[in-house]
Amino acid sequence: MFTIEHEFDATVITLVDEGEDLPLVEDVIINAFEDCITVEQVDPQTDEVMRLTLSMTQVRDLAAALNLPEGSYRLERKAV
């Protein structure tokens, strides 16, 4: 399950782990800002929020990598 909320400066996507597979993990919160994406999840051992920040270039590369076979790649921007 997931939710999508549009806030003033970001789109917030929350991924909720559900189902019969145990153990379930903490929710993942993705904040999409104009210049970066943050991914947050509470560490159940410390009860602290762990945050990862990705640049828009890293997000673009991640999206491409999800559909490519194993290997090393460099995406190049087309001149407009």
Give me the DSSP letters along 21-75: SSS----EEEEE-SSEEEEEEEETTTTEEEEEEEEHHHHHHHHHHTTS-SS----
pLDDT band, residue 78 (cuts 50/70/90): confident
pLDDT tens for each residue of 17-58: 998 888 889 999 999 999 999 999 999 999 999 999 999 999
Contact 36, 56 (CB under 8 A): yes
Structural domain boundaries in the chain: 2-65
pLDDT, residue 47, reads 96
pLDDT, residue 23, reads 86
Contact 31, 16 (CB under 8 A): no
Question: For the whole model, what pTM was predicted?
Answer: 0.82
Q: Is the pLDDT of residue 67 over 90?
A: no
pLDDT, residue 70, reads 87
The whole-angstrom separation of Cα 56 and Cα 32 is 10
